[in-house]
Structure 1
């Protein structure tokens, strides 16, 4: 089986979010895929069945080192990049369409994940020391936290043990952008699923796009944003919010290709 490592949401190697991509001739056992993901040790590894009819959506699943996840943006971008850009994937989150754009970026058509305001969980104060929690909201899988400034987002050193007690699959912290051309910054911590900090998280931007839509003014026919995920590796996500769908736009670089022997 062919295996790849792809840096997603970046145009430079060793930046963005690395994902494993494994191409399968037929569906594989879930326990085996989990073992492969644990061996590769990236935040997610994407498994794509490429042996079916060419005109059908390709089955796609994503695994962290410890568990399967229902949606993964950078893993989808990585898989589309390996397969040439224009793709349709059959996933636990429905059929996802990927389109190669003229400027070399790839757009992923993902479901919007709107967050509803909630009282901040008590663990956030301990888990995000030095952060002024101005608001909190609950999306389908993650809690979103609005910080007072981008500087707080960039500087926070989370208490991962405390964040692991937040009843969610992860915590997004965000604030308005602090440099030209960037609408907002964010970071994502998911110790609940074995990921201390995700370098660039496509699925989180399905929530961030809807959150910032109520706070930034754009053309109402298509609300567009640029988000910077301010992890150590860093990455940029362009977004186009269209009702209940979000177009996530990113670049990718293949850093490794090889053969899986077991």
Structure 2
């Protein structure tokens, strides 16, 4: 089924294919996002085991995919296993869908090196302060003061930069009472992600504060991710 994860005001969100895991090869799992017109596919196995795939391969974790899986699992507390980690998630029925949140796990944050920051900012065409945050895999967080909506990164150059430093991708954000962000991850077959909950959890850890982040506007799919009290998630609905 297709689940729209991290809706904003009941619309938009990131379409995610969710299915009970079966006797699929990994090659077949990689084909499913493209076949169903989604960036990611989530496979739910016995005991809450989650596996996440894009067209380029398996990921150790996927935040909006976890939100989508929780919406399918239904209301209640759930024990989940992904990327070798056991963690908790909660789904609550609300008007318009399911509010799903989960424990993203510990986040490590360090300043980006000069070489890392320079390479990524050149590919983006803009940028300010840069840190590298690791949650499952490292990714770069880049703060911009303006121009977020107009960003048009050189995706080939960005892929080369992130690959050279072992980064999942680049999460570019603008601070404010309500944050906005865009996530670029061409190395995993996702030029731009509609919603990225794990990177939003990384941002909350970096800032030491709860955040509400709007994403997806540049793709015509408004999405909102909330990170608060050590959990991250959003509203999801089965389409």
What TM-score results when the alignment is normalised by the length of structure 2?
Answer: 0.85
Pick aligned residue for 2:29 from 27, 33, 42: 33
Is the alpha carbon distance of 1:194 and 1:91 closer, same or farther for their aligned partners in structure 2, counting shifts above 3 Å?
Answer: same
Superposition deviation, residue 209 in structure 1: 0.7
Distance 1:206 1:135, change over 3 A: same
1:146 maps to: 143
Q: Aligned match of 2:79 in 79, 82, 88?
A: 88
Q: Does structure 1 retain, via aligned residues, the 8 Å contact 2:13–2:216? A: no
Q: Is the 8 A contact 1:7 1:13 kept in 2?
A: no
Q: For 2:123 and 2:81, how far apart are their aligned partners in 1? A: 36
CA deviation digits over 1:167-217, x for unaligned, max 9? 21100111212xxx51x221100001111000000111121111222xxxx
Give the CA deviation at 1:118: 1.6
2:127 aligned with 1:128: no
Q: Is the CA contact (8 Å cut-off) linking 1:185 and 1:230 kept in structure 2?
A: no
Q: Deviations over 1:119-177 (max 9, x none)?
A: 34232233112x2x321111222111121x1x322221111011101221100111212
1:17 aligns with 2:14: yes
Unaligned runs of 5+ in 1: 214-222, 256-262
Taking the aligned partners of 2:73 and 2:102, their CA distance within structure 1 comes to: 14
- Choose which of 191, 196, 201 in structure 2 pairs with 1:196: 191
What SS does structure 1 have at the residue aligned with 2:160? Answer: coil
SS in 2 for 1:115: strand
Give the match's secondary structure for 1:205: helix
Length, aligned pairs only? 224
Q: Which residue of 1 aligns with 2:68?
A: 78
Among candidates 88, 102, 113, match of residue 108 of structure 1: 102
Change (3 A) 1:118 1:170: same
**1:160, 1:191 within 8 Å by CA — same for their partners in 2?**
yes
Distance in 2, Cα, partners of 1:5 & 1:102: 18
For the residues of structure 1 that align with 2:2 and 2:235, how far apart are their CA atoms? 14
Give structure 1 regions of 4+ aligned residues with deviation exceeding 6 angstroms: none
Match of 1:249 among 226, 233, 239: 233
